[in-house]
């Protein structure tokens, strides 16, 4: 027979016991998460037209200066790749110094200061492909960060907190596009952030401003009137390595199978 | 509760308490979930502002136009109209206060970025007017003969 005293004691115990998991759930309240998801405001995207790129490398120079990436260190937030497909079916790819000085040589840079010369008549097709951070909608670099130093903002840009990064390098390994590197001065992970200080002021990114050929454009995917959005919605755009499920937000026009 | 079985529980609870207290002091107040939820938005909110405060170095031709209207109008009428002033003149920074004058890159290498002939079919580079820098007037600056603000004009008036 249960006494009143033991009934009260046990009820309190059960209520207290239930309160513990409930308070844990409070920390991870999915409804609050959903409510805090801001679907207004911009969602920055990038459009690269590889047909227009001539490989001058002004974008790389502009980016390095604007974002204080050491100019002579062989690291860069954005770079341009050259693809030369020869008639024997081989693809020759290079990006000397990330194309910071453009492509001053006709020969393909094969490392150790050596150039591989290709005869003009052997070239089947050749083109340039600018690369930068894809600001993925499912960024694997953010998932692997153990300390919450890299994150995605409401407008879709993935940023790195230099004060919080411990420099473990997981994100550098985790990025399937190889856009992250170790900053030689700050000793933290570094990456393209669409010139966050410029786009949030209504300016273009430094690479877009320095491109004389219109090969690079930045836009807002949530604005249906944005010319970049219109192109992404209506033209035949492609993304890099979509099989990874990262949902990249840098779209390419004229992408060739050699690049993917 | 005096049982040896319960004693480890007290230790565990004490450790949890220490961790919670330490977290309170070590984690910044603005650290939390952002707009993208726990998986992608776990961060220090103040850092977004830090990135927004990075100094703008390239101020674009719209900034140069205010004082150098003549130069601006000249290049906008020329085949070089899409090249931003700062591509060759360097970033404006706080010009005209600091630096008082910009360092102009007049090197052959700068022009060669676009005008080295690369015979690439199906790329707009192949269609560009190009030269072989190893044989085309070696040792001379391009601006000796070509006026960069309007390449249709000849010579450098200096």
Question: What pLDDT is stored for residue A120 in this prediction?
Answer: 92
pLDDT, average across residues A168-188:
96
Is A115 in CB contact (< 8 Å) with chain B?
no
Confidence of residue A9 (pLDDT cuts 50, 70, 90): very high
Residue numbers in A near B26 (CB within 8 A): none
Whether residues A55 and B124 touch (CB distance < 8 A) is answered with no
Q: What is the mean pLDDT of chain A?
A: 91
Task: Convert the pLDDT of each residue in A104-136 to its tens digit.
Answer: 999 999 988 899 999 999 999 999 999 999 999
First to last CA, chain B: 95
User: Can you spell out the DSSP letters for B39-77?
Assistant: HH-EEETHHHHHHHTSPP----HHHHTTT-HHHHHHHHT
User: The complex's ipTM?
Assistant: 0.87
**B57 interfacial to chain A (CB closer than 8 Å):** yes
Q: B interface mutation test: which of A30, A152, A174, A207 has the most B CBs within 10 A? A: A152
Where do we find the tokens 């006026």?
B147
| Model pLDDT for residues B20-50, shown as the tens digit of each residue | 999 889 888 888 888 888 889 899 999 999 9
Query: What share of chain B has pLDDT > 90, as a percent?
Result: 64
Burial of A176 (0-12, 13-18, 19+ CB in 10 A): middle
Q: What is the pLDDT of residue B6?
A: 85
What chain A holds in terms of domains, given with CATH numbers, is 140-190 (3.30.70.20)
State the pLDDT confidence band at B158, using cuts at 50, 70 and 90.
very low
Segment A197-203 mean pLDDT: 95
Contact indicator for A44, A219 with CB cutoff of 8 Å: yes
Q: Which two tokens stand for residue B135?
A: 């044989």
pLDDT digits (tens, 9 = 90+) for A18-36: 877 666 655 555 555 555 5
Query: Please, are residues B131 and B116 in contact by the beta-carbon 8 Å criterion?
Result: yes
d(CA A139, CA A174): 9
Selected residue of A197, A217, A249, A256 to mutate for chain B interface (largest B Cβ count, 10 A): A197
């Amino acid at each position: 027979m249960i006494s009143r005293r033991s009934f009260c004691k046990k009820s309190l115990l059960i209520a207290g016991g239930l309160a513990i998991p409930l308070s844990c759930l409070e920390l991870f309240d999915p409804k609050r998460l959903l409510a805090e998801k801001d679907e207004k405001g911009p969602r920055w995207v990038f459009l690269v037209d590889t047909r227009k790129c001539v490989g001058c490398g002004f974008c790389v120079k502009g980016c390095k200066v604007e974002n204080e990436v050491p100019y002579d260190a062989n690291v860069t937030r954005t770079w341009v790749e050259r693809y030369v497909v020869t008639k024997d079916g081989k693809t020759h790819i290079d990006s000397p110094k990330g194309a910071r000085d453009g492509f001053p040589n006709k020969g393909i840079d094969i490392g150790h200061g050596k150039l591989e010369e290709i005869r003009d008549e052997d070239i089947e097709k050749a083109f340039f492909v600018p690369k930068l951070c894809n600001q993925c909608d499912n960024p694997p670099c953010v998932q692997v960060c153990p300390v919450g130093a890299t994150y995605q903002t409401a407008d879709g840009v993935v940023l790195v907190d230099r004060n919080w990064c411990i420099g473990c390098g997981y994100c550098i390994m985790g990025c399937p596009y190889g856009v992250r590197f170790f900053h030689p001065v700050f000793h933290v992970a570094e990456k393209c952030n669409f010139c966050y200080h410029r786009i949030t002021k209504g300016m273009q990114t430094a690479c877009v401003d320095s491109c004389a050929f219109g090969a690079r454009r930045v836009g807002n995917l949530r604005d249906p009137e944005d010319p970049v959005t219109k192109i992404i919605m209506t033209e035949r755009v492609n993304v890099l390595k979509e099989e990874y499920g990262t949902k990249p937000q840098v779209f390419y026009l004229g992408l060739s199978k050699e690049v993917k | 509760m005096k049982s040896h079985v319960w004693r480890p529980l007290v230790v565990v609870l004490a450790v949890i308490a220490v961790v919670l207290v330490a977290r309170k002091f070590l984690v910044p107040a603005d650290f939390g979930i952002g707009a993208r939820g726990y998986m992608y938005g776990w961060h220090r909110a103040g850092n977004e502002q830090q990135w927004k405060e990075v100094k703008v170095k390239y101020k674009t031709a719209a900034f140069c136009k205010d004082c150098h209207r003549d130069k601006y109008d000249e290049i906008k009428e020329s085949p070089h109209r899409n090249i931003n002033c700062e591509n060759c003149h360097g970033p404006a920074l706080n010009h005209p206060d600091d630096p008082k004058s910009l360092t102009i890159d007049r090197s052959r290498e700068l022009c060669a970025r676009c005008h080295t002939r690369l015979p690439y079919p199906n790329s707009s580079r192949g269609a560009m007017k190009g030269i072989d820098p190893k044989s085309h007037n070696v040792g001379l600056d391009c601006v000796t003969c070509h006026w960069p603000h309007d390449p249709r004009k000849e010579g450098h008036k200096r």
